[in-house]
Structure 1
């Protein structure tokens, strides 16, 4: 959390405006005495009456006050949130330009519009032409709309949609002078934003995806829910309802029941959530409801035309809005084919169905036969995984499901790049079809390129350290620490043993388990999983362990090594480090000794490479992954998360330790289709790494991180 001083330094204009508005409210007593009820209003409120009286200065003075005491709450909060956001994104100078021009366009534009339309039989504009207003709300809402240009897609479009929906809904249902000012200010802000960053405003069109149709349909019902919730509090004085007769308006107000609004709003929100998931049943309900409502509205329009009664504008507006929603559902019907989650569990090939031993055996066989370009791929065979296969391709993707996210682990396992790219596409389509969010974790640059070609985003989350064995030679000053470890082990009688742990004596296995248990207990949190193996994974017959054992048979340290099957399959061409555990109080240089000894042993066997694996959330340099993302925010988040976990798991210390072996580095990435899913993916990764951690553990972790 940024400190108050940091915020004030970064947001000087917003901080000053908040202080001035609050101070003036106390000095003029408008904080508790309504401004509109005092004579002071003639010199401190703006609007068409003020301008016709020649009080043009009120466009400036009115910006620092609220008409009523309670309205200071949304004004101060809005200045802090919307104004602070705009200044943070635009900088003080451009924020000042946006703030001033949006205020002028909102206030003067509304006055001009009312001057043109009043006294022509339109009750709403005639009524508003006699109203005065005050406050900077049009300014900071318009500035926020202008600042949206600095936000990366898809958040840019979503922020603009929310702002536009807010101002349009409120001007329709409340219809106050401030609501009209907000519409004009936000519209101006959307045009001004591109100019402030040095480019002309432009509209870009593209073909709508399945996700776009789901968002549009879901958003339509969210708006309907909001309308139902705010209608009991509206005055029936908006630009549409003002066409009703006085008796009709009174009847409309009497018909608005808060309980009915809450019930309908809740139902619409439930329907919106199911449509967002692409549920087939929700689409059928939505289409049926809209067809019924549109039929009733058509009958109502016909009745109004036949009887010449007032209210045609209201009826037509509702009809057009619902017709738009129905059109989205019908045109995008292909986006709503997902069965319910319960039915998906019963469906053959469901991603949420449990795996069996046969699937793991098939995955192991495919990895040996096909190979892959990811040296960490053996972890895809761990029993906790599930495996996605496609009948059109020979290969698989290992994955886990948490929080509605399907987390693919490592690269797709297949023999060629084309097959890996095809598997990624099939995996993405299948996950989306079941209403889940897909992503792949710790993938190489090859797969990140395939993902970006599909329009996905890419973030570096780790860095793999690897060593070329044919040229490895512990000679020279740079290798002094490693030679010291080897020499000290020889003096103390510590020797290196290498082989499958499952084939070693029972006493050795028990010591390894005891060392691991003590290491876990020392962390204060459950042992991490997912990409970090433990003793259970080390007991795999295909995995070899390196042990530092003294003359008494005491194990001082243990490492485990997973086989590397490169593209084309066959026998292992290298080994990847997984488990690293040291006996507390044991041989000081255990890890240096074990890794160096393993490298020499693998080199003698003719292996080409040793991977020291990747340290999650530890990076030498943050690679530029995706220019469409807000890199500063994401990298800051990853760095803080890594710093929080460091006292418990030492990822960064481990990363620094591996530098002793002069490895090469290769970035490992997280790829995902939508930036909006990042918080959900973060939650899923937390559950994947810490499946046994309870709420108390995570709270303790968060507190320590501060």
Structure 2
């Protein structure tokens, strides 16, 4: 028998070679293509418009000069001739090469936004509907108006128009309905003002179409269930914003009427107003607008007087118009109407806004009189309520200097005022079920006093109970070490045990004390160490949520010190009490951390570990290592506000080491709780940023900030 053939040795499975990662430029291109794939209709619309403009030569020649213009443009003359197909041809053309500057951004912004929100088919439907409503609505309106002998209507009714603007505006208005409050109201107010000014002060057929599309789109989007939002009165802030924008619009229109001749529904305008008069009006309007923005009572009264004066002037001029014509004072009545009536319409709208929102304009002119309507509390009263109701891990800071205290129901809120912003510190001191009421009352009182309200370093409970429509952003992480069963055993505590053992070998002792009771020699060393630390930073010590030696001297604050056999201090930590309801201290929060430059190396690990052991033996529940400002949890999805805070954190890191401090605290394996900043909306953020800078660095000059930022970048 022959032997069976030998089996082939099993072959090792060959792993597929890893594909090389494409270059960064290729990856960016692929991401851009995937993003653009969301907008097929917008891209196709823009591409068709560009191709048609190039093929027909209208990218360099106005379409009206071409012989076939009347065959593609819509308007009352086209419909009278039976050219109904122009409804389908007109949206793909641009009437004049210069109109591309306005048309393309409007198409890309309006249609693209609607396509991103509603999908390609719905965006196409909105675009076509807007185009039909604009073309047919303008033709119908002008047909009715021109029969009444209205010169403007008779002239405009003979005009033709092309372009995608009406459809794009419809898409834009519907997309705006998806905005959150208060941006939705602001956007609608802006588009209505734009359409009204165009109609009153330009008065061409395109302006008629745009005004009709805006009006119909706003009406329909407000009636459709998918776009309907709960109705409600504008807030105090919104009334002030409406009044401010209205005055700015009036100022812009006065400049427009001074520089540009026009033929509007109210007559023809040839600029005749003296420049000096307009400049005086603009200065007055600018002063009034700023006062209205702040809610000043005096600005409200002055605006009412201005509006009534303009309306009274228009009424008197209209009443005495026949006499002026008979006496030869006027050659054309249209001159009077054109110079007075358009601005009078705007002043009438402004007067209505100011009267309806009169409750929003009660702020006194003098800063000394801008106080909260709520009752002011003393520091002692505020801390008494803190002991009664309990508070958060940073609530003891409400007793620090520069904080003001107001009563909110049975509780209290502490705040600081900087740059027109009232920054509430931490959670309200109140029963937890009253947090929402307390925050609402604080926001309302701040707005009526002319301040921008903001809450800084609030807990998740405050975030859940923030006022309706407010936003929130995570601005820090609180690091908490639970004390029951705390033991520095196991591999993960190696670095902490090493610091404790090394301190014993080098004769370093730990002592928990009350700094206010310590002898002068100890206090002098504490001050010297703190001054050495702050002197190396190039900026003054930070305040607000970061205490100094003066706060550490509070009799209720505990201070841990590391001292050697000669009595020399190597480092200090201060701990703030965390009260629970009924005056019981539940835990302690780390505040001041200072070490001597040439002292015991791991003194901070040693001090924190020994302090935690001390508080654990005393029966407390936890210690908070406090939150590092401007440090966001890694697992949080960043938003636009977070990106700004991250950049600010990176800038300040070389100076204050917030992130380094946050990583240092990980040695103690804490659990983390987010801390929030609560604010009305993104429009407040620039001013809040200035206010927080002043709160944290009240003694820093502009030169200090600039030089420190430059050194940090280098």
Q: Same fold (TM over 0.5)?
A: yes
Is residue 403 of structure 1 aligned with residue 422 of structure 2? Answer: no
Equivalent residue number for residue 152 of structure 1: 180
Indicate how the Cα distance of structure 1 residues 699 and 194 shifts in structure 2: closer, same or farther if over 3 A, else same: farther
- 2:557 aligned to 527, 538, 543, which one? 543
How far is 1:185 from its partner?
3.8
Question: Separation in 1 of the partners of 2:651 and 2:566?
Answer: 40
Whole-Å separation in 2 of the counterparts to 1:459 and 1:259: 48
Look up the SS of the partner of 1:546 in the other structure.
strand
The answer to whether the 8 Å contact 2:547/2:592 transfers is yes
Q: Which residue of 2 aligns with 1:161?
A: 189
Distance 1:192 1:554, change over 3 A: farther
Measured in 2, the distance between the counterparts of 1:597 and 1:42 equals: 90
Residues 1:266 and 2:292 aligned together: no
Q: Secondary structure at the match of 1:498?
A: strand
Following superposition of structure 1 onto structure 2, how do residues 480-495 of structure 1 map, counting pairs within 5 Å? 480-495=494-509
The answer to which of 231-240 and 32-41 deviates more is 32-41
Report the Cα offset of residue 684 of structure 1: 1.5
Q: Within the alignment, does 1:666 sit opposite 2:673 as a pair?
A: yes
Q: Is the 8 A contact 1:407 1:439 kept in 2?
A: yes
Show the 5 A alignment for 1:343-354. 344-345=367-368
1:694 paired residue among 702, 708, 713 = 702
Distance 1:398 1:200, change over 3 A: closer
8 A contact 1:371–1:567 mirrored in 2 = yes
Q: Quickly say closer, same or farther: Cα 1:481–1:265, change in 2 above 3 A.
A: same
In 2: Cα distance, 1:605 partner to 1:26 partner: 84
- Residue 475 of structure 2 corresponds to residue 461 of structure 1: yes
Q: Which whole-Å CA distance do the structure 2 matches of 1:42 and 1:421 have between them?
A: 63
SS in 2 for 1:237: strand
Q: CA deviation at 1:165?
A: 1.0
Please say if residues 154 and 676 of structure 1, whose CA atoms lie closer than 8 Å, have aligned partners that are also in contact: no
Residue segments in structure 2 that go unaligned for 5+ positions in a row = 1-26, 327-331
Deviations 1:638-667 (A, max 9, x none): 455445544544434433443443333333
1:73 to 96, 101, 111: 101
Other-structure match for 2:604:
591
Match of 2:690 in 1: 683
Measured against aligned partners, the alpha-carbon deviations of 1:139-180 in whole angstroms (never above 9, x if no partner) come to: 443332222122110001111110111012111110112222
State the distance in 2 between where 1:191 and 1:660 align. Answer: 60
Alignment partner of 2:270: what SS? helix
Question: Which structure has the larger Rg?
Answer: 2
Q: 1:245 is matched with which residue?
A: none
Q: 1:78-477 counterparts in 2 under 5 A?
A: 78=106, 98-99=126-127, 101-107=129-135, 109-111=137-139, 113-114=141-142, 118=146, 121-187=149-215, 189-190=217-218, 199-202=225-228, 204-241=230-267, 249=268, 252-303=269-320, 322-340=347-365, 342=366, 344-345=367-368, 359-360=378-379, 362=380, 366=384, 369-370=387-388, 372-383=390-401, 385-390=402-407, 396-413=412-429, 416-417=431-432, 424=439, 427-452=442-467, 456-477=470-491
Change (3 A) 1:305 1:659: farther
Bigger shift: 607-616 or 167-176? 607-616
Task: Give me the whole-angstrom Cα distance separating, in 1, the residues matched to 2:395 and 2:541.
Answer: 21
Tell me how far apart the structure 2 counterparts of residues 652 and 194 of structure 1 sit (CA, whole Å).
Answer: 47
TM-score, scaled to structure 1: 0.79
User: Which of 588, 609, 625 is matched with 2:622 structurally?
Assistant: 609
Between 330-339 and 81-90, the greater mean CA deviation after superposition: 81-90
Q: Show the counterpart of 1:244.
A: none
SS in 1 for 2:298: helix
Q: Deviations over 1:648-698 (max 9, x none)?
A: 444344334434433333333333445542332233223322331526735
Give CA deviations for 1:520-553 in whole Å, capped at 9, x if unaligned.
4655655432212234433444433323445565
- How far did residue 131 of structure 1 move? 2.8
Distance (Å, rounded) in 2 between the aligned partners of 1:15 and 1:553:
76
1:499 alignment counterpart: 513
Residue 13 of structure 2 corresponds to none
Greater alpha carbon shift after TM alignment, 491-500 vs 635-644: 635-644
Q: Distance in 2 between matches of 1:194 and 1:632?
A: 29
Residue 620 of structure 1 is matched in structure 2 by 633
2:633 match: secondary structure: coil
Give me the whole-angstrom Cα distance separating, in 1, the residues matched to 2:50 and 2:592: 59
TM-score (norm 2): 0.79
Structure 1 distance, partners of 2:617, 2:681, is 47
Alpha-carbon distance, 1:576 to partner: 0.7
Tell me whether 539-548 or 501-510 shows the greater mean CA deviation: 501-510
Cα distance 1:73–1:687, how it changes in 2: closer, same or farther (>3 A)? farther
From the superposition, tell whether residues 108 and 63 of structure 1 become closer, same or farther in structure 2 (CA, over 3 Å). farther
Bigger mean CA offset, 155-164 vs 478-487: 478-487
C-alpha distance in structure 2 between counterparts of 1:697 and 1:406, whole Å = 22
Q: Which residue of 2 aligns with 1:575?
A: 588
TM superposition shift of 1:387: 1.6
Return 5+ residue gaps in structure 1 as ranges: 242-248, 625-630
Cα separation, partners in 2 of 1:164 and 1:364, compared to 1, 3 Å: closer
Using a 3 Å threshold, how does the CA distance of structure 1 residues 520 and 240 change in structure 2: closer, same or farther?
Answer: same
SS of 2:153's partner is helix
- For residues 591 and 41 of structure 1, do their structure 2 counterparts lie closer, same or farther at Cα, with a shift above 3 Å needed? farther
Indicate how the Cα distance of structure 1 residues 318 and 619 shifts in structure 2: closer, same or farther if over 3 A, else same. Answer: closer
Distance 1:110 1:263 in 2: 38
CA contact (8 A) 1:393 1:423 kept: yes
Give, in whole Å, the separation in 1 of the partners of 2:704 and 2:204: 49
Alignment of 1:37-48 (within 5 A): 37=65, 47=75
Secondary structure of the corresponding residue to residue 400 of structure 1: strand
